[in-house]
Every structure is written in C-alpha cells, then in structure tokens.
Amino acid sequence: MPSLPVQGRTLVMGILNVTPDSFSDGGRWDSADAAIARGLELAREGADIVDVGGESTRPGAARVEPGEEVTRVLPVVEALAAEGVPVSIDTMRARTARAAVDAGACLVNDVSGGLADPDMGRIVAELECDYVAMHWRAHSTQMDDLDVYADVVGEVGTELSERIGALTAAGVDPARIILDPGLGFAKVADSNWPLLARMGEWSGGARVLVGASRKRFLGAAIARDGIDASDPSVREHATTAVTTLAAHHGAWAVRVHDARAARDAIAVASAWQNATSTPE
C-alpha cells in the first residue's frame, strides 16, 4: 500500500469523482478506465494524493446505493495504488472505507466526520489509517437549510471537537485525525470566509484540509458584470487564490480539481515565505 506523503509543504489532494453527477466534473471520469487515466494524470500534474469518490455530495444530490459506490471506486483505487499513487477514499460509509483501504488506499476522507455511519469510527480504528473528519450537519438534500450560526468559527470548532471525542472513544488515534471545516456544507456563502481566515481558532492544532475548489461561495465573491460565476470552471482562479493563502497559513493539504495550478501556487507561497525568513 502506498503511504501518505510527508512533505515540508502543503500537500495537493487531487479530486477524482467517479460519478455521473458531481457539481463540477460529473460524468467525465465515470468509467474505470477514464478514472484511472485521470488519476495518473493528476499525479503527474502534481497531486500528492488522489481522492477517489463514488458518491456526489453536491447540494441536492441523492445518495447512491452502497454496492454501486464500491463498484465505482474499487477498480480505480486498486489500479492507482498498484502504480504507487497515494490514494484517499472519499466516502461516508464504513463498508466502502474498509474495501478501499484493503485495496490500497491510505486515507479515509469522510465528509460526515463519522456522523453518517455509526460504524465508521470503529472501522477506521481497526484499519489504523489517517482519517479526515469534516464538519457536517446533514446530507446534501438538507444541508443548505442548516447554514445558521451565531458564531460560525466557535460552533464549527465545538462540533469538530465533539467528533474528535467520539472518534477517539471508538479507538481512532487522535494523531491520525485531520480536520476539514466543510466549506460549502451547511455554509452557502459568507459563513465560509471566517473559517478560512481564522483556521487556527477552530482547528486546535490538528492538521487541516481545505476543500474550496470551484465552490459556490467563491463564485459569489468574484461575481461581477460580464462574469457568469455560476459556472464552476470560472471559479478556478479564485480557487488558486485560496490555495495560496491556505498554504501561507499552514494548511496540511488542499483538495483541488487542478493539481498543477495548486502545486504552482504552493511553490510560490513557499518561495515567498522562505525569502521573508532569510536574512539579507
């Protein structure tokens, strides 16, 4: 099994949706052969980890049957791992997580933070793999209605702390838990920005994954006359800006569609930071 990369910089997690209905690239890689080719391309372009998902979590998406999810992702995980590509499995189901790790995945990326499947904590503890716990309040059909916060940074921090407590109680090593603020999940627009700007307040020193790529709140920020920001592909430059700032502020990884742009942005941020710390 390929191991999770250890680097002295922010890592790039390349998005690989093996689905017909993901918000930005649904259907482009929904056959195993196409998905494997795309995963290898992401790795060549600079992705340190390829995140394979078989169920869309876009707003309003319906859930896929468990067996269908496994059928979609397993051949892709196996093939990429066999090529030495570090793979994460993007799933809310413990069954899928176990099958993918057995097939070579080295990380479980769970957008529900263990809330969608009560067996997830126990299975991750048995697998002894790293685990991304995202802030989550409900499935895609309901999540926009739950964008209600008096203090988004404090509430997200508290809810993630509760997830860490539940996961460690199930046997997960806290050092293996990576936190994700869940940008766009029960956070339609303005609720996202304080979580980025105040990352250190809600993360409690844990590793942080930032998944902003092409999301709606970036479209809202860049909307102006002559720009159709409802098109996810138009949000790519804004994504790169977030990547640069996330790297500057010490994010463990960014989850992106364009691995090359992210890798370049991180290199520039690193060069800038190195120059400011080097005496003349």
> 2: which DSSP letter?
P
Q: Name the one residue in this structure whose structure tokens are 């994954």.
A: 209
Helix ranges restricted to H, 64-144: 66-82, 94-102, 120-127
Residue 196 burial (CB count, 10 A):
17
Q: Which tokens in the block code for residue 230?
A: 């409802």
- Distance, CA of 74 to CA of 33 (rounded, Å): 12
Strands annotated E in 157-222? 177-180, 207-210
CA distance 251 to 269: 12
* Residues classed as catalytic: 215, 255
3-state SS class at 246? helix
Side chain identity, residue 231: D
At 17, which helix (H) or strand (E)? Answer: strand 11-17
How far apart CA 167 and CA 177 sit, in angstroms, is: 9
Strand, helix or coil at 252? coil
Tokens of 103: 């097939």
**Residue whose entry in the numeric block shows the structure tokens 């017909």:** 20
- Please name the amino acid found at residue 275: A
